[in-house]
Amino acid sequence: MNTGVAYAALAYLSWGLFPLYFHQVASVPALEVVLHRTLWSLVFVLVVLALRRQWAWVRDVLRQPRVLGAFALSALLLSANWLTYVWAVNNGHVVDASLGYFILPLVNVGMGFVFLRERPRPGQWLAVAVAACGVLWLTLQAGHVPWIALALALTFGFYGLLRKVAVLGALEGLTLETVLLAPLALAVLGYGAWQGQGAFVHGDGATLGWLLLGGPITAVPLLMFAAGARRIPLATMGILQYISPSMQLALGILWFGEPFAPQRMLGFGLIWAALLVYTLEGWSQMRKADARLVPGDTGKH
């Protein structure tokens, strides 16, 4: 249990620090950063698979076109999420990006209802309704829909939905996704270099080094997250997952100096209230379930 909490907390802490990493490659266009991130993530996970001699799944996947199609779609969703996030960080929208991951758990509730025929409990519906009020308030204050936050929440929400019903684990799934994206990434980066453009041609050593680090920086938190998820209850994961957007929000305001108008506090406050309702309701249900599993007192001591 303690090991699982440590793994999960480290994963969320790593994701919370991502704006600092992407700030180091801010001179590189967001699309190019995502292409590099794809390639070097693939290199890293292939090394991990080689060290673990974990190749048995490859033959099974190649025999299932439907699985390949599902992971091709999840790869596109993941790359769209990465592209949106990198663009947001490098264009002064870290606070907006943090909002996307604050509302993600509530988006997951709605997706479970629509696509998996799950029946959310009344407390979960209340949390979704309160969060929707928060998003509506932020929309009215900004004069436009918070598209960055919604794009991040929806792309990762649909990605999580596909991975929830997938047959592969975190390491194998990330490997397959990056394998499917790698030919396109390599072709685009190669064409750019041939045209005399891109970080391969104009980047300095520090920039290239940061881009290479994108592989382990992407893959290691995913592996720690998978290790933690196997060891601790879902309710505990639900509480820990707010580490990342909280850190991103703090970085956006305190480190990057992004404006945070007092009027926005009401919108964020409603979303935080929704998350509190959601977390307490889930924790309560877990305690009730644990209580039902405790054997009754037989009177023998």
Residue 120 lies in a domain: yes
Whether 299 shows a pLDDT value over 80: the answer reads: no
Calculate ∠ Cα 18-270-81, nearest 5°: 30
Task: Specify the pLDDT at position 234.
Answer: 57
pLDDT tens per residue, range 62-76: 888 888 999 999 999
Residue 297 lies in a domain: no
Quote the number of domains for the chain: 1
Whether 15 shows a pLDDT value over 70: the answer reads: yes
For residue 157, what are the domain limits? Answer: 2-292
> Which band of pLDDT confidence, cut at 50, 70 and 90, is reported for residue 279?
confident
Whether 181 shows a pLDDT value over 90: the answer reads: yes
Task: Specify the pLDDT at position 236.
Answer: 65
Integer Cα distance of 155 and 153 in angstroms: 6
Crossing angle for the helix pair 170-194 and 30-52, nearest 10 degrees? 130
Residue 77 lies in a domain: yes
Residues in the chain, total:
301
Residue 301 lies in a domain: no
pLDDT tens per residue, range 75-126: 999 999 999 999 999 999 999 998 888 888 778 778 878 887 878 788 878 8
**Higher model confidence: residue 282 or residue 199?**
199
Residue 140 lies in a domain: yes
Average pLDDT, the chain: 85
As a whole number, mean pLDDT of residues 218-232 equals 80
Residue 173 lies in a domain: yes
Residue 299 lies in a domain: no
As a whole number, mean pLDDT of residues 206-212 equals 92
What is the maximal distance between C-alpha atoms in the chain? 82
The C-alpha R_g of the chain, in whole angstroms, comes to: 21
In which residue are the tokens 């002064």 written? 92
pTM over cut 0.75:
yes
CB distance 279 to 238 below 8 Å: yes
Q: What is the DSSP string of 99-151?
A: HHHHHHHHHHHHHHHHHS-----HHHHHHHHHHHHHHHHHHHHHTS--HHHHH
3-state DSSP: the chain helix, strand, coil percent, rounded to 5?
Answer: 80, 0, 20
Integer Cα distance of 246 and 102 in angstroms: 8
Residue 203 lies in a domain: yes
